[in-house]
């Protein structure tokens, strides 16, 4: 269901939502009991007022008046107690359900394949985990029991009124057709307004997220005033407009309900008053009847509000279940085994790959190669040639459409993903650091590593020198995404993190393209020793990272069109030679001049 879809009742969604209550059936049942108790005391309270007026004041009986007031106070006290217990219990139940649901979403999101995140924006994911889950919390914690309470109160009030005076009850119900029309009209308009409000809020959130992420570019080009104007006149103005429209509808409907309540009360007071004057009705019964009118209209007003909550819960539930029902494209086979400690032999056997949603556009075509343990392989080629896809298949972020990827002779589809990736280290072009300290980010590669091992890994990649110059050394916070560090510093920490994991296969995806010359020199000095005894795949645009590779694969339009050493490929004077002439050599000359 899209954000702008018309919400509707779906029994399957409701059944799944109610399924979340199953583990907490005991406190929910207790809450239901307390809800019935509170509604019951609210229904009987006007009758005690009748007793006080008719059997106490009119009859001149002080004991009867005292008893009626006492019963009224007892009913009010019990109502307070029942509501307190119900709210506390359901708050606990709702919080526990949301805890369970968010855990399920969190675990499921981590297991989804990378292709899912290419099509499902971060903002939509956060909206599911935060906004939609909060909607379900309100529905499961309060709305379900509130609907039951309103219905019970409504039926109880009608029963009590009918028992006291059927004619006055029919007079009261005479305004209900108008109320039913107003409620139906309100639900229709409110549903459309609710859709517009959610759409406008989504637009505001999207613009805010984009602005926060791009604030450096905004400030660099002095676009603050223009962005302010666009936000003020665009999403923020639309959000204000839609909220005002929703407020106008509510401002018209709820006073209308109150007016109909007043109209019903006036009718009852007039005709009831005539009955009192004719001694056909007691004054206490008339007062109780008027109080019951409030008991009748209040749940009607509440049920109109609950309708929108119900529909929004249906929409939120459908979106969440759609996410939870999305299967990972890459899954462990039922009989998958743990990959034993590997030597690092990698073989691609006639591998083809295309994305599931675009089967007519192959990304890789008949890729076939063998890499022996301890060899370093460089993958070169133009952007979009398929280099990164080869790496993703090796790490089993995707499965090949045809062919096999093997490590030490094991087809990766026959082993568990966890046992494979525990023996791999990956450093990306744009490394991601988690909020925390430098030490915590390096230790992410191996959580049980000692401080000495963390520092040894940092020294190995040349990161120790800049780390100890930071304000708090290894305990310096890096900020969200590592924003407090330079690109080169983040890259060095990512190197240390990967190497601390002591992988048998090391993958460097353009890992030196974002660092300056001095930083790259530090890395190059460490790489020779660090890659020793490890199988390494290197995607790089800099000659220094490629020239010493044991094999160079030239990837073009999803195929490996050339392979060999640096000198062998230059001698071919083919695509690699042209890439070298156009880019690699220039970078090499720039470095030499520096």
Cα(268)–Cα(274) distance, rounded to whole angstroms?
Answer: 10
What pTM does this model have? 0.72
d(CA 412, CA 390): 13
Q: Which of 436, 435, 515, 439 is nearest to 473 (CA)?
A: 439
The two three-digit tokens of residue 418, written as one number: 């966890």
Q: Residue ranges of the alpha helices (H) in 20-59? A: 25-51
Closest-CA residue to 314 (of 109, 143, 119): 143
User: What are the helix and strand counts (H, E) for the chain?
Assistant: 24, 10
Structure tokens at 233: 């006149």
- Name the one residue in this structure whose structure tokens are 């795949």: 537
Pair 160, 46: CB distance under 8 Å: yes
Token pair listed for 12:
């399957």
Show pLDDT as tens, one digit a residue, over the chain (594 residues): 444 444 556 778 888 888 888 888 899 889 989 988 988 898 888 888 888 888 888 888 888 889 989 999 999 999 999 999 988 888 888 888 888 888 888 888 888 877 777 777 666 777 778 878 888 888 887 788 888 888 888 888 888 888 888 888 888 888 878 877 877 777 777 767 766 776 777 677 777 777 777 777 777 777 788 888 888 888 888 888 888 887 787 777 778 877 888 888 888 888 888 888 887 888 888 888 888 888 888 887 777 777 777 777 887 888 888 888 888 888 888 999 999 999 989 999 999 998 877 777 889 999 999 999 989 999 998 888 889 899 999 989 889 999 999 999 999 999 998 899 888 888 877 778 888 899 999 998 888 889 999 998 888 888 888 899 998 999 999 887 787 888 778 888 888 888 888 888 988 877 665 556 666 666 666 666 667 778 989 887 666 667 888 899 999 999 999 999 988 999 998 888 888 887 654 444 334 333
- The DSSP bridge partners found for residue 427 are 508
463 exposure class (CB count in 10 Å sphere: 0-12, 13-18, 19+): buried
**Closest CA relative to residue 126, chosen from 201, 227, 231, 232:** 201
Nearest to 558, CA basis, from 401, 395, 349, 354: 354
């Amino acid at each position: 269901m899209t954000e702008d879809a018309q919400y509707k009742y779906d029994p399957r969604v409701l059944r799944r939502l109610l399924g979340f209550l199953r583990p907490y059936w005991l406190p929910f049942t207790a809450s239901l009991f307390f809800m019935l108790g509170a509604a019951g005391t609210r229904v009987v309270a006007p009758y005690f007022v009748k007793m006080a007026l008719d059997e106490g004041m009119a009859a001149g009986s002080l004991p009867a008046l005292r008893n009626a007031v006492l019963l009224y106070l007892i009913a009010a006290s019990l109502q307070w107690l029942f509501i307190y217990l119900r709210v506390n219990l359901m708050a606990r139940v709702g919080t526990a359900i949301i805890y369970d649901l968010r855990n399920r979403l969190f675990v499921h999101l981590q297991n989804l394949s990378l292709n899912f995140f290419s099509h499902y924006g971060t903002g939509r994911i956060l909206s599911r985990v935060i906004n939609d889950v909060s909607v379900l919390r309100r529905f499961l914690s309060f709305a379900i029991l509130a609907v039951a309470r309103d219905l019970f109160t409504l039926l109880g009030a009608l029963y009590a009124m009918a028992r006291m005076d059927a004619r006055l009850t029919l007079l009261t119900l005479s305004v209900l057709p108008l109320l039913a029309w107003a409620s139906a009209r309100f639900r229709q308009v409110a549903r459309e307004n609710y859709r517009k409000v959610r759409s406008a809020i989504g637009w505001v959130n999207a613009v805010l997220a984009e602005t926060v992420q791009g604030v450096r570019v905004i400030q660099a080009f002095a676009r603050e005033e223009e962005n302010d104007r666009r936000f003020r006149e665009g999403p923020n103005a639309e959000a204000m407009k839609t909220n005002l429209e929703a407020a106008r509808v509510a401002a018209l409907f709820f006073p209308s309900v109150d007016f109909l309540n007043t109209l019903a009360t006036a009718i009852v007071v007039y005709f009831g008053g005539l009955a009192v004057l004719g001694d056909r009705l007691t004054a206490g019964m008339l007062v109780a009847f008027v109080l019951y009118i409030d008991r009748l209209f209040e749940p009607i007003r509440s049920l109109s509000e609950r309708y929108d909550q119900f529909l929004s819960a249906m929409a939120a539930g459908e979106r969440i279940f759609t996410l939870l029902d999305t299967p990972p494209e890459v899954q462990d086979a039922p009989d998958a085994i743990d990959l034993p400690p590997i030597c690092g032999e990698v073989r691609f056997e006639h591998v083809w790959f295309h994305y599931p949603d675009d089967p007519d556009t192959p990304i890789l075509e008949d890729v076939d190669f063998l890499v022996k343990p301890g060899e370093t392989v460089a993958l070169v080629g133009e952007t979009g040639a398929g280099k990164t896809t080869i790496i993703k298949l090796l790490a089993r972020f995707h499965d090949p459409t045809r062919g096999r990827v093997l490590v030490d002779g094991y087809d990766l589809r026959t082993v568990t993903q966890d046992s494979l990736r525990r023996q791999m280290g990956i450093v990306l072009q744009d490394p991601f650091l988690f909020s925390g300290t430098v030490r915590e980010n390096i230790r992410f590669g191996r959580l049980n590593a000692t401080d000495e091992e963390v520092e040894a890994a940092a020294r190995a990649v040349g990161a120790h020198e800049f780390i100890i110059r930071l304000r708090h050394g290894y305990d310096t916070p890096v900020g969200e995404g590592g924003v407090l560090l330079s690109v080169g510093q983040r890259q060095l920490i990512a190197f240390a993190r990967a190497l601390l994991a002591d992988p048998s296969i090391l993958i460097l995806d353009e890992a030196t393209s974002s660092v300056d010359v001095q930083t790259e020199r530090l890395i190059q000095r460490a790489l020779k020793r660090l890659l020793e005894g490890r199988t390494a795949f290197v995607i790089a645009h800099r000659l220094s990272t490629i020239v010493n590779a044991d094999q160079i694969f030239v990837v073009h339009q999803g195929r490996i069109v050339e392979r060999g050493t640096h000198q062998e490929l230059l001698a071919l004077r083919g695509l690699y030679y042209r890439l070298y002439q156009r880019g690699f050599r220039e970078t090499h000359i720039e470095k030499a001049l520096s």
